Amino acid sequence: MSGALLALALGFAARTVAHQLLIVLAAFIAIGLDPAVVFPVRRGLRQGVAVAVIRLFALAAVAAFVATAAPALAGAARRDRC
């Protein structure tokens, strides 16, 4: 019963498709990163510290991807402009 009420509340809170897409994306990210947080917690690290470490690793991965992809995309954009 409470699950249905939660789903109803989320449905009212996310009235547009964009909001629903963000909620689904956030859920996939949270579910995907949960094992990475559980691993250090089982080995004695506090959950808050484990979450902070995983956030830093995820941010570093995104930054590395952007740093790697940006020069290639900029070069392609320059070539297409001529």
Question: What's the confidence (pLDDT) of residue 78?
Answer: 78
Residues 6+ positions from 58 with CB-CB distance below 8 Å:
33
pTM of the model: 0.62
For position 14, what pLDDT does the model report? 60
- pLDDT value at 4 more than 90: no
Residue 25: predicted pLDDT = 92
DSSP string, 54-74: HHHHHHHHHHHHHHHHHHHHH
Work out the pLDDT band at 34, boundaries 50, 70, 90. very high
pLDDT at 22: 86
Tokens encoding 78: 């320059």
| Predicted confidence (pLDDT) per residue in 57-76, tens digit | 999 999 999 999 988 888 87
Indicate whether 30 pLDDT > 70.
yes
